[in-house]
Amino acid sequence: MANSPAVPSRARLPVVAIVTRHWGQAANEAAAATRLVAGALARHADVAVVQLVENAGATYLDSVFEIHPAAVHGANPRRSALLRAALNGHADAAGPPPAAAELLRRYGGEAPEVEGELNKIAPDAVVLAGVDQPWDVSVLGRPGDGSRPPVLVIPFLDAGRPVPAEIVRLVEHADRIGTIHPDERATLVGLAPGRERDIVPVDLAIGVNRHATADPLAGVAAFGKYVLLIRRFPAGGPRLERSVNAETLPTILDGLSVAEVDGETWRICDDHNTAVLPVNPSGVNFARLVARARATIDVRPPGPVGTMAIESMLLGVPAVVPDGSAAKAHVAAANGGLWYRNIGELFDAVRVLVRTPIGAVLARQGRAYTQTRHGDIDDFVARMAALVLGHRPAAPPHGEAGRGV
């Protein structure tokens, strides 16, 4: 029998380990952003996720990602959340007082199994996503140690809130620190003087289905022009019990209607009528609703990413967002909207956008900025490879990537 020609083997892909609490189906911005980062890296690497969980099970596959659960022992999330809320009024670039920092460390628990999982994975690079890392990160070594894999820390710092004490420990062991919103850089430079070159923007690419937004959302046409009010999205996300709602806005809108997204309940109102929108509360339908709004008004508790503000500006719609938030940092950098500290300022901002030409100017500026910084998925994939793996790979031939975002 004739020998078959040898089939060349594919080169081994590098292995990246992501250690994080932010994974799974949780309706929070950090989890969605971590998945975006993992998806980008999976185009040029095998990605394993060490997921910090309350009760660890066996390793399993989630799409193209190998998930290694690692148990966090002794955590007290409720007390931690209460203490962090109490500290919110005492923001300090140096972090919380030592006694509070020690309490937060204890309430965070311990995850001693992480080191063992990393040893199993044997990664070529490590990403620490989020400051909640209750394990001995010193096992990673320090920058400049040529025997260790490079380490990227993406802290997900909330704008306008006290800096978590954990960030100092993580920065000491990071080769690079990735920032999600512009206000993070100033904070991190203050914590790590002399390391400005190591603090780099991640600039998440936010995918917008522009083909889907070509069609209007069912049920809105009869109400004419409208602004969009976001009280809760996605459905399982955080919500303020008391805030501006669809009934309180029409009086300042000169005849415009108000579409309101509140979890699974979507409705639209004008001065006389209210209709529930009979649609699935999906990301595609949300983009359809945003695309035809005169402005988006975000009254949710602020998150660490500001995804909705970026998406709104990508679709050419100016955003009104809370001051002291990641969303505000993006809007200010883009000159793509306005921000508010209280209800009176929110009303003033909405009036400016819908009653003056300023709204159209901000819409153009926001779209141009976000398209450059957040609108190119291929560039995001290449930048993440450069940031984590140390090189900017050429696009692989069609069918060779083996991974998708």
Domain ranges of the chain: 15-73+110-205+376-389, 212-374
For position 83, what pLDDT does the model report?
62
Q: Which residue has the tokens 């148990």?
A: 71
Nearest alpha carbon to residue 305 among 104, 107, 27, 83:
27
**Topology alike, domains 15-73+110-205+376-389 and 212-374:** yes
Q: 4 falls in which pLDDT band (50, 70, 90)?
A: very low
Tell me which amino acid residue 144 is.
Answer: G
Residue 80 — φ and ψ, nearest 5°? -60, -45
For position 162, what pLDDT does the model report?
73
User: pLDDT of 273-321, one tens digit each?
Assistant: 889 998 999 999 999 999 999 999 999 999 999 999 999 999 999 999 9
User: pLDDT of 49-88, one tens digit each?
Assistant: 999 998 888 999 999 999 999 999 876 667 666 766 666 6
Q: Which CATH architecture has domain 212-374?
A: 3-Layer(aba) Sandwich (3.40)
Q: What is the mean pLDDT of residues 191-199?
A: 90
Partner residues linked to 258 by β-bridges: 227, 269
The pTM of this model reads 0.87
Nearest alpha carbon to residue 20 among 206, 152, 148:
152
Q: Which CATH architecture has domain 15-73+110-205+376-389?
A: 3-Layer(aba) Sandwich (3.40)
Report how far residue 381's alpha carbon sits from residue 389's, in angstroms, rounded to the nearest whole number: 12
